Every structure is written in structure tokens, then in C-alpha cells.
Amino acid sequence: EDKVVQSPLSLVVHEGDTVTLNCSYEVTNFRSLLWYKQEKKAPTFLFMLTSSGIEKKSGRLSSILDKKELFSILNITATQTGDSAIYLCAVIHNTNAGKSTFGDGTTLTVKP
Amino acid sequence: DGGITQSPKYLFRKEGQNVTLSCEQNLNHDAMYWYRQDPGQGLRLIYYSQIVNDFQKGDIAEGYSVSREKKESFPLTVTSAQKNPTAFYLCASSIVGQETQYFGPGTRLLVL
């Protein structure tokens, strides 16, 4: 059975802290891994990772994939209250184009 | 503006009633998806469609039905067979072969 596990499930930090969110997966026919940020409603796309060891960066956020150990991490440095959200990890399968398996998400709360 | 719209924002269902959630996109995307999100959980795939007049079951299709008569529209019917329909429903679309999915604002379904 395909599985995507995120940890921790929830995290409370203070502004300025650095956080690392984890996503491990066991899926058949891996194609890519995506990170999304969900604040109130619709998830918004953050990163897509397909190759091991290549860091993707966007401002204070960065992410990397390890296809040997089957995990990805999402780092947020100098956190701000606006980073408070649910962060979702999704793995896209190669068998059925577009079919994806999501993790349960990490709820991040950044306190002022 | 291009995007995905879902309606209604909130929907109330009585016991034994079928209800239909609307999803429309003007992004000219071929692929569309329906997900269910329960509190503290990630997204679970209900149905997806890669082309008009064709769709596939996702991981939790029981109690749901869909149609894809037009490229722009992918309505989801929650039937009376779905015994626990209370959840947040998200619709998404993408270009076939591209992993990034664009999400609508969601519909929250509640049972009276």
C-alpha cells in the first residue's frame, strides 16, 4: 500500500526560529514529490522535487529530496507568523499520470 | 482571470439525500481531481479525470460519483451511500503530464 508519512504532525515555534518538516514515502513507481502550503482553504504549490540531492529554494523556504532513503525535508528559516499553515507533502505516481498520495500534513504555528 | 471555482462554499445535506458539488476551471487543463480532507488529515483522492468523458476511481470512491461532460467542469455527487460525508472537499486541475495541481477554494459539506 502506498504511504506518505509526515512528521511532526504539529509544531509550535516562535518568530525567528528555523524549522524542518519531514516527509517519508513508500510508493510504487515514484515520479515526483511536491510540497504545498495550506492556510485557510486551497493548498498552494511550493516545490516540486524529482532528483535527489538538488535543493530547491524560494526565499526563506528550501527543500531537498533523498530518493535512496525515500524522504524529503522542507526547511523554513527565520519563521514569521505568516508561515503558520498546514504543510502538505504529496507523491506523484508514474503509473497513472496525475495520481497522487498525500501525507497528513504538518500544522505549523509561529507565535510572535 | 484564470482559475478554479467551487460552489457552494458551504453545503448542508440531509440524511438520505444526494448532493452535488460544482467545480469549474478556465485554465484549459485536461486533468481534474476531487479530494476529501478530514480534520488533521491530508488529502485523499476520490476521483480523477484526464480527459472528457473518462474518469478513474481514486482511493476512496465509494459513495461518490462524478461526470466529465465538458473539459471545464467536473461535478462531484455525494450519494446517500456515503455514510460519513462531513468533510472539506477540494477540486484541483492540472495539465496532463505535469505534476503541479491548482486547487479551488473548497466546499465544506455538513450533515444535518
The per-residue pLDDT for A102 is: 92
With an 8 Å Cβ cutoff, are B100 and A48 in contact? yes
The per-residue pLDDT for A110 is: 97
Q: Which residue, chain included where needed, has cell 462524478? A: B66
Q: What mean pLDDT value characterizes chain A?
A: 92
Q: Is B50 on the interface with A (CB under 8 A)?
A: yes
B73 or A95, higher pLDDT: B73
Out of A4, A42, A104, whose CB is closest to B103?
Answer: A42
Helix, strand, or coil (residue A83): helix
With an 8 Å Cβ cutoff, are A101 and B90 in contact? no
Tens digit of pLDDT for each residue in A45-87? 999 999 888 999 999 999 999 999 999 999 999 999 999 999 9
Q: How far is CA A83 from CA A12, A58, B42, in A?
A: 11, 13, 18
Mean pLDDT of A99-108: 91
Model confidence at A97, pLDDT cuts 50, 70, 90, reads low
Q: Return the residue in A32, A94, A99 with the most chain B beta carbons within 10 A, the one to mutate for interface testing.
A: A99
Residues 47-86 of A with CB under 8 A from B: 48
Model confidence at B93, pLDDT cuts 50, 70, 90, reads very high
Mean pLDDT of B16-27: 94
| pLDDT for B112 beyond 90 | no
Q: Is B74 on the interface with A (CB under 8 A)?
A: no
Distance from CA of B10 to the nearest CA of A (A): 12
How far is it, in rounded angstroms, from Cα B28 to Cα B20?
Answer: 23
Tens digit of pLDDT for each residue in B26-81? 999 999 999 999 988 889 999 999 999 999 999 899 999 999 999 999 999 999 88
> What is the pairing mode between strands B54-57 and B43-51?
antiparallel
How far is it, in rounded angstroms, from Cα B6 to Cα B109?
Answer: 12
The per-residue pLDDT for A2 is: 84
The per-residue pLDDT for B51 is: 92
Q: Is A101 on the interface with B (CB under 8 A)?
A: yes
Q: Is B7 on the interface with A (CB under 8 A)?
A: no
| pLDDT for B82 beyond 80 | yes
Q: What mean pLDDT value characterizes chain B?
A: 92
The per-residue pLDDT for B77 is: 97
